[in-house]
Structure 1
Amino acid sequence: MAEVVSFRKDPDKAGGGALVLRQLNDGVLRLTLNNPPANALSIAVLETLMGELQAAGEDSSVRVVIIASTGNVFSAGHDLKELTAHRTDADDGVAFFEESFALAADLMLEITRLPKPVIAEIDGLATAAGCQLVASCDLAICTDTATFCTPGVNIGLFCSTPMVAISRAAHRKQAMEMLLTGETIDASTAKDFGLVNRIVPKQYLTQVVTKYASVIASKSPEAIRIGKEAFYRQLEMPVEEAYTFAAEVMVDSMLTDDAEEGIGAFLGKRIPVWPEE
């Protein structure tokens, strides 16, 4: 049976509904942005997602995280109305702007540092920080009608923080194309650029994403934890240093209980039973 729990309610929403819906089923935690139509990344939403991810990192029953959304927009990025409202602050909004962008950066880093894979499930538009969220996830699967953009230049604001994640997910010149033009790209182009892994028909999106998550959840949690951390660390290293580091990781991995069990199961032609964390 799936466990459904809602956290962090927004008093401005009808009925005080949850900003992020939480569903845990067979090791797969689904976090659904629930603030349509824009699913904007307000301070409250960012804090909620951060709390959920931090809790997931400590919860041994969670093997994989999916970030999805309700409505026709995956996420329109930062809440521009919320940001604009603080222009009347005594400091012209500087403190609030710093808090908002720093919190978003912390969230993206939390995704990267989480010892469990995070999959973005995109149905609709992912724009600005919403596109940054997609780029920050380990995997991204979208519908054939999903679209992506970094439109900051259209409103006099270069998408500098989304640039960090997007330039590390997409090819350099294609990332610059998105950032400089602010134009919307379709799912096929996003896949060519490297922003998404797979494109599936809308009616099969959740089914396909859940299947991917379930396959990953069946693997060694220790191997996944070690491997994900090593993947992002070696990306920032020169190639020779990366090989040295990766070899050290392999040696350490060989000494884990999961590796002993996994190799033993392979040689014994049986299904591995991963040790409890």
Structure 2
Amino acid sequence: MKKNSYKKELSIKATQKRNGPDNNKKDIMKIQAWLSLYAIQNPSAGTSTAIDGDFGPATEKAVRNFQEAMSLPVSGVVTQNLFVHLCAPMTDAFEKPLISTELRELVVEAAENHLANYAYELQIKGASNSGPWVRAYMDGNEGSVWYWCMGFVQTIIDQAASAQGKNFKTLFPLTYSCDTVGTVGLEKGLLTRYQKIRATPSIIKPGDIFLLQKSTLDWIHTGIITAVRNDVIETIEGNTNLAGSRNGIAVMKRTRNFQQSKLDVFSIEPLV
């Protein structure tokens, strides 16, 4: 993959523990982040804790609770071996071998893998759009201004293309901007406007990318199209929520009515 910042989220420099001689704030915050992400999937596990870089009694207890929940030796100490368990969802999402053979199917499969691993953002020091998943999609960037829907989409396209030895940058440049991708789509003749989509839905193919249009040259959200049925597309989107926000909290599967919403469609056919 070209986008490989996720690898930085899969390791710590040294064993971290309460009053540990090799403790460092960055690694402790990574541990606290993964503990909090585990709590989203397992709210009764008691692993949610402040993400402040301080390995105090609360973090130690959260670690012990995680170890207990995972049926691991309970010590309250985070070695690299334990950290592998903490970050296992990201390892699975990014490194699980894809089994599909056709590119469009690979795109959908990769998106579903990320969805299945609960890719959520966190709020860190008051800033939304933060945490390991956001940094992985946004090449190390995070914080309130870093809307990550396009970062997610390009990660999925990159992962699928890389499985076939292809470079996703031949389709569009690495960017976090919906406007950039929309403009490139117009220049290359790959973007179909919503008016034509409504008249000819057969244009839409699984693996293509939708761009939610605000105005003619302004797009504010994006996602992967996984299926088309009647007037509805099924999607997997990053940085969204139950209301379909463009600045939400997670990777989610959604349905969108393209007869009612202004959904332009970017074709990935040149990569196919």
TM-score above 0.5 = no
Q: Which has the higher contact order (CA 8 A, sep 6+)?
A: 2
| TM-score normalised by structure 1 residue count | 0.27
Bigger helix fraction:
1
